[in-house]
């Protein structure tokens, strides 16, 4: 029984890995179940047995990726240090998650074309745990006078996501601005430094420094 359960879990993981790659390359509409089953080296009937439908499999791939990225955010909020150091870590962890998960970046681009109809179903519940943590962190920074008092968590989340996602989603387009490999560690570190300077300069309470 244990061996059978282990084999089933291994089969599911192969399907998920193959599906993530094919969905990232072709989107939900362009992906074929036959191609996913072949890449996973599994019978197509078993794919339907485990996941029900192509759309359900796509939803599960998105869900697993969002779980990973939300876990990264939660990990960052639990690091030792000041409020400013924790917010810096949230941005840093998110940035390097995107750098190391190019297929997730492409999945998000497909989701934008689908008007986010699948993401909305997934994140409605999942965000209920992570957003309050980040909100509490920002509110702590506001109480301490570190951050501006007029910060809006919703706008801030969108802005941070935008400056990070745009780089990874469109760096091939903007490659003419660099004469170096945009995936190199050096360029990534430069880009992260700019994002941190840009973001933190916008949320810090500069009046406190002047007092």
Q: What is the pLDDT of residues 38-60, one digit of tens each?
A: 999 999 999 999 999 999 999 99
The pLDDT value recorded for residue 6 is 63
* pLDDT of the residue at 209: 54
Q: Which helix (H) or strand (E) holds 111?
A: helix 102-113
Count of beta carbons in the 10 Å neighbourhood of residue 112: 12
Partners of 147 in beta bridges? 204
Measured CA to CA, the distance from residue 53 to residue 114 in angstroms comes to 18
Which residues, including other chains, have CB under 8 Å from residue 170's CB and lie 6 or more apart?
A: none
First CA to last CA distance, the chain = 69
DSSP run (H or E) holding 147: none
Least confident segment among 38-42, 110-114, 132-136: 132-136
Backbone phi, then psi, for 204, in 5-degree steps? Answer: -70, 150
User: pLDDT tens across 142-193, in order?
Assistant: 999 999 999 888 899 899 999 999 999 998 888 888 888 888 999 999 999 9
User: What predicted TM-score, i.e. pTM, was given to this entire model?
Assistant: 0.87
| Domains of the chain, earliest start first | 1-52 (1.10.10.60), 58-210 (1.10.357.10)
pLDDT level of residue 208 (50, 70, 90 thresholds): low
E strand intervals along the chain:
none
| pLDDT tens by residue, 3-50 | 555 678 899 999 999 999 999 999 999 999 999 999 999 999 999 999
């Amino acid at each position: 029984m244990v061996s059978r359960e282990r084999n089933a879990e291994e089969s599911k993981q192969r399907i998920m890995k193959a599906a993530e790659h094919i969905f990232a390359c072709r989107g939900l509409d362009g992906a074929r179940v036959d191609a996913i089953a072949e890449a996973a080296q599994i019978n197509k009937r078993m794919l339907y047995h485990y996941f029900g439908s192509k759309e359900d499999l796509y939803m599960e791939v998105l869900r697993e990726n969002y779980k990973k990225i939300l876990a990264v955010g939660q990990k960052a909020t639990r690091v030792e240090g000041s409020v400013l150091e924790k917010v810096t870590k949230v941005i840093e962890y998110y940035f390097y998650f995107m750098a190391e998960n190019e297929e997730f970046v492409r999945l998000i681009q497909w989701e934008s074309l689908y008007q986010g109809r699948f993401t909305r179903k997934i994140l409605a519940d999942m965000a209920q745990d992570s957003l309050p943590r980040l909100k509490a962190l920002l509110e702590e920074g506001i109480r301490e006078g570190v951050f501006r008092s007029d910060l809006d968590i919703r706008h801030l989340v969108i802005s941070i996501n935008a400056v990070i996602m745009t780089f990874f989603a469109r760096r091939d387009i903007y490659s003419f601005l660099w004469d170096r490999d945009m995936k190199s560690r050096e360029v990534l570190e430069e880009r992260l430094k700019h994002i941190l300077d840009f973001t933190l300069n916008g949320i810090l309470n500069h009046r406190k420094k002047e007092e």
